[in-house]
Amino acid sequence: MFRGITNLNLDAKGRLAMPTRHREAFAQDDNQLILTIDTQEHCLLIYPLATWLEIEKQIDALPSFNKTANRIKRMLIGHATQVEFDSAGRIVIPPALRAHAKLEKPAVLVGQGKKLELWSQPLWSQMTEEFLDQSDEDDQLPTALETLSL
């Protein structure tokens, strides 16, 4: 289970040093993980390989004559890239994925339960600020959240 927010930096070669607490979760999959794009935000999604394989089966089962389903397949599976850690616990973020997420040096890793999100630090700050500014305007909660007490 991935939780928390970690500020980190990508090096000049686009490598990211994964925090130790997260590397342990990937060790169960022989340090194999999947990077792909988020289809709604400019960030990347990072999954343990086994988790991704389950999701990929569900995506692949979407109807092929549905345009939205095809776009999701193209984006998620088309950009899915299997990577593994080097001896220093780093992963290389491919240039196309870095471009999608507008990643440069400062980045933010955000735990999301079964996956991690990787954000450009400036985009993460902007998105967080916009979310807080609009929190009063967002009166419509999904039904599943109406009974949630924090």
Ramachandran angles phi, psi of 115, nearest 5°: -145, 170
Ramachandran region, residue 148 (left: φ > 0; alpha: ψ -120 to 50; beta: rest) = beta
Domains defined for the chain, CATH in brackets: 5-135 (3.40.1550.20)
- Cβ(16)–Cβ(103) under 8 Å? no
In this prediction the pTM is 0.89
Q: How far is the C-alpha of 26 from the C-alpha of 48, rounded, in Å?
A: 6
- The 10s digit of each residue's pLDDT in 26-80 is 988 788 999 999 999 999 999 999 999 999 999 999 998 999 999 999 999 999 9
What mean pLDDT comes out for the span 127-142?
76
The CA-to-CA distance between both ends of the chain, in Å, stands at 19
